[in-house]
Chain A
């Protein structure tokens, strides 16, 4: 049963973010709108210490440490936001809750955004963040990569890049509705079936997003680092997908799981009923707490 809080979030998402994506808003206007919406997300509680000292070469990053004795576990979290913007407060609050539930430290990376810094700038920042964590002495078997939406895409791309470069892989990956297919996509499936049902996303301006993210290099849309759904998943660590049955991105997760399982990678998918895109970060809904508990369970299972 979908809670009334989530139903409200569905309606608000439909009236705000979905409308903004359907209309030809400039990136600046979209960022302004998101800043206004961000005021409704709470600040992280005092039991989580936030350290902004250790930056990356080209972008900001934060360490989140729970006061209640974190274990060796570390979560590298990559925020979503269509590669052009981000819900900074919401993502920070989400990561704080996940760190608390999993007794882990969190690394939140504010990778460079398009159109100012098109692909591969954001992915390079994520790779640098991962390498920095390893260099600080964290064992890869204690490390998890997580990401929502565009962050999920970057998380998958990062896994592929790490594997290709023979850098030690993390213990697992948490992928929440990753936007893993940057091609025009099939003419059937969730992108068509859920076009009306999706409470947040609309692909009417998909071309614009592609153009802004890739700059002039639109031929890269089939590259696995851009569309990880097309990648070879052999050798990747366990992956845990959460997605909603009403999202246009449902098939992205399904296809990734199929490809991963086909080459023997343990990949799980949870398909939630009628959740809005990125519901894990909507702290006022009970389903968000449940999803976070399940993500923490997965972390504990793969890093005891």
Chain B
């Protein structure tokens, strides 16, 4: 083979690997989109069901239909070069098959369910299955990236690449938003949203906004008092712990100032206004009962 042909072969190998990486970029984008919707499916099935149906249609059509067969060809050649990796490769191929089966079942269930069904137990089961699919898909993708993508270009030769590289001419629909909008209009509209909201999967239990604010204010108040208590203790604990005899006690007692006994801006040794007022009232009532009444 001439050097020109060899260079061309390397270039097509690099382009093939680049395409696999771009497929993973599209897959990551789709997994993130599904993950962002799934926990709200039970509360907003009418709005989210059509988007999820299209998302799984995309996964089945492109990722399982084109991307995984490309990877399977790559893995098959790596298996020939590195038999030690046979087990991991077999597991990844099995994950491709299992993932495709689960995606097909989810697509079918999502399309067949009514919005009311998705609000109930059936919806919760579907959500759990989608979350499990997402977890496996992400892990699977990371394993492929870590183990094989980095090694493939090093261990395969031009004969291997000639077998692997087979331009099916099909591009990821996510690469062109106009094409995506034609084939998957709901998905395209979803990707165009300026903001996404995560969480809020259930209606909040009947605590009014005002009650909620009052609870938070009380928490802040008692949190503040707790800190004041800590500060008061910290200011005086060392002095009290240092007391070993009468002389130390005298020294500790004389070093106490109103500042070291401050709690919420007031010296704790000073009687409160309430105590002074009540005490003076009682005293006055005893001294001059009639006059005071």
Contact = CB atoms under 8 A, between A and B. Distances in A.
A196 B219 CA distance: 10
Contacts of B201: 1
Contact of A304 (B18, B35, B39, B198): B18
B97 interface: no
Nearest to A102: B142
Given A294-B35, A300-B25, A301-B25, A268 B196 contact: yes
A103 B24 CA distance: 13
A274 B216 CA distance: 13
A223 interface: no
30 contacts: A1-B202, A14-B219, A15-B219, A15-B226, A18-B220, A18-B223, A22-B224, A68-B146, A71-B150, A101-B142, A103-B142, A196-B220, A261-B194, A269-B196, A272-B198, A273-B198, A273-B199, A273-B200, A275-B199, A287-B199, A290-B198, A293-B138, A294-B35, A294-B36, A297-B29, A297-B35, A300-B25, A301-B26, A301-B32, A304-B24
B28 interface: yes
Interface in B1-56: 18, 21-22, 24-26, 28-29, 31-32, 35-36, 39
Given A11-B219, A274-B199, A290 B35 contact: yes
Contact of A301 (B28, B36, B146): B28
Contacts of A184: none
Contacts of A68: 146
Contacts of A274: 199
A270 B196 contact: yes
A300 B146 CA distance: 13
A217 interface: no
A223 B216 CA distance: 35
B276 interface: no
A169 interface: no
Contacts of A103: 142, 145-146
A19 B18 contact: no
A1 B195 CA distance: 19
B235 interface: no
Interface of A: 1-2, 11, 14-16, 18-20, 22-23, 68-69, 71, 101, 103, 196-197, 245, 254, 257, 261, 268-275, 287, 290, 293-294, 296-298, 300-302, 304
A254 to B, nearest CB: 8
5 closest pairs, A vs B, by CB?
A273-B199, A304-B21, A304-B25, A300-B28, A297-B32
B32 A298 contact: yes
B157 to A, nearest CB: 22
Interface residues of B, number: 39
Secondary structure class of chain B's binding surface, majority of residues: helix
A19 B146 contact: no
Interface string B147-160: 10110000000000
Contacts of B197: 245, 270-273
A20 B200 CA distance: 30
Interface string B164-205: 000000000000000000000000000000111111111000
B213 interface: yes
Contacts of B145: 71, 103
B220 A14 contact: yes
B217 interface: yes
Contacts of B146: 68-69, 103
Most buried by B among A261, A274, A293, A298: A293
Most buried by A among B36, B213, B219: B219
B199 A2 contact: yes
A245 B219 CA distance: 20
Contact of B213 (A22, A196, A270, A290): A196
B227 to A, nearest CB: 5
B147 A69 contact: yes
Given A103-B142, A261-B194, A304-B18, A297 B150 contact: no
Contacts of B223: 14-16, 18-19
A271 B195 contact: yes
B32 A304 contact: no
Given A269-B196, A270-B36, A271-B195, A297 B28 contact: yes
